Amino acid sequence: MISKKKIENIAKLSRIKISAKEVEKFGSQISSILKFTEKLNEIDTEKIKVNKSISGLSNVWREDKVEKSEIEREKFLENAAGQKDGFIKTKAVFEE
């Protein structure tokens, strides 16, 4: 069973605020899902290499060329909660 402290830590990493009740609920659900996944330990994967990609493609490059965007800047700003002078507003990243 994953500790309360660990769940609080994961919520912090996930940038999601959760209540004490949720810590308990999610804690027990996540614990049982993780227990279920431990079944994978039945398989020996010592010598197995991870696939680079699922379809076999790799290193798909394009020319490093700057092109004009098909969509105007305003369209992208439309959805931002705060805007100023064509920039997206947000709370200060660094505190004084």
Partner 1 sequence: MLNNLTIKTASKLLETKKVSSLELTKFYLNNIKKNNKNLNSFISVLESEALDSAKHADKRILAGKKLGVLDGIPMSLKDNMSLAGSITTAGSKMLENYKAPYDATVTKKLKEAGVVILGKNNMDEFAMGSSTESSYFGNARNPHDSERVPGGSSGGSAIATVSDQVVFSLGSDTGGSIRQPASFCGAVGLKPTYGAVSRYGLLAMASSLDQIGPFSKNVEDAAILLDAISGHDPKDATSIPNFPKVGNSYKKDIKGLKIGVPKEALGGGVNKKIEECFRDAIFKLEKAGAKVVEVSLPLTEYAVPCYYIIVPAEVSSNMGRYDGIKYGLNESKSKNEKVKNLIELYEENRAEGFGDEVKRRIMLGSYVLSAGYYDAYYKKAQKVRALIKQEYENIFKKVDVLATPTAPNLPFKFGEKSADPLAMYLEDIFTIPANLAGLPAVSVPCGMVAPEDGDKELPIGIQFIGPQMGESKILQAAYNLEKII
Could you give phi then psi for residue 43, rounded to 5 degrees?
-100, 135
Here's the x/- map for partner 1, 61-90, by CB under 8 A: it reads as: -x-------xx---xx-xxxxx-----x-x
Gyration radius of the chain's alpha carbons: 23
Query: Which helix (H) or strand (E) segment is 87 a member of?
Result: strand 87-88
Q: Are the CB atoms for 2 and 35 separated by under 8 Å?
A: no
Q: Is 51 in the site for partner 1 (CB under 8 A)?
A: yes
Q: Which residues bind partner 1 (CB under 8 A)?
A: 2, 6-7, 10-11, 13-18, 22, 26, 29-30, 32-34, 36-43, 45, 48-51, 53-57, 60, 62, 70-71, 75-76, 78-82, 88, 90-93, 95
